[in-house]
Every structure is written in structure tokens, then in C-alpha cells.
Amino acid sequence: MKTLGQFLIERRKALGLSQKEMAALIKNRDGKPLSATYLNYLEHDRGKPPDYLLDQFAEVLKVERDVFYFWAQRMPPDIRPGEASEERVTAAYRAFRRELKSKEGGKGGKRS
């Protein structure tokens, strides 16, 4: 299975961005650009980026933010698990699995 770091590398390269170029487009909480060293650290799955970085990655790499939360194996912050019943959670995961399997032929491979 692909990792968040692998997905970051794949999307960055597809857009023709170097690590240094991409890092300059991402801002830390203090407003300063992300370091290329830290981006490299994340691309090699050595750390877990905070939500505010996932949101910026999605914007810079032109990908829906939910995709980044999926690869980070996290719930998007707008979903509040405490507000859902067991039945709704079960139904949501069944729909999620059904959608993924229908798009990928049920084999877990790449989309065509």
C-alpha cells in the first residue's frame, strides 16, 4: 500500500516541483516557509505532518484535502466521530469500501 510520503513525492513530481520549490510554498504556523529538510523527512515517512500542513499540501498539489487525510490515516477535522451512531459509522464505512472497490475492480490496485 502506498504511504503518505510516497503520495507526496508522486504528486510533487507530477507537478514538476522540486522539494525546495514545494517547501517554499508551504508555511509553518509562524508564517515561515517549511524547510526542504522537513519536507524530505515527511516524504520518507519519518514523521506525521499536522493537519494544517495536510491542508496546504492539498492546495499546493491540487488534490482534494480528504485524499491527504486518507493517506495520513486520519479523520478530517470537520468530521466529529462523537456525533455519529454506530449504525451511521458502519453505513459510512460500508459505502466507503464499496466505492473504493468499485473504482479499483475490488483488487486494491491503481485506478484506471
**Calpha distance 37→33 (Å, rounded):** 11
Question: Is the distance from CB of 99 to CB of 47 less than 8 angstroms?
Answer: no
In tens, the pLDDT along 82-109 reads 778 889 889 988 998 999 888 665 444 4
**Are both 30 and 41 inside the same structural domain?**
yes
CATH number of the domain to which 16 belongs: 1.10.260.40
* Whether residues 69 and 16 fall in one domain: yes
Domain that holds residue 107: 81-112
Same structural domain, 75 and 85: no
Name the grid cell of 112: 484506471
User: Can you give the pLDDT at residue 72?
Assistant: 95
Same domain, 58 and 15: yes
Q: How many domains does the chain have?
A: 2
**pTM for the whole thing?**
0.80
Whole-number Å distance between alpha carbons of 102 and 65: 21
| Judgement on whether residues 57 and 111 belong to the same structural domain of the protein | no
pLDDT tens for 7-50 read 999 999 999 999 999 999 999 999 999 999 999 999 999 999 99
Q: Which residue has the higher pLDDT, 4 or 85?
A: 4
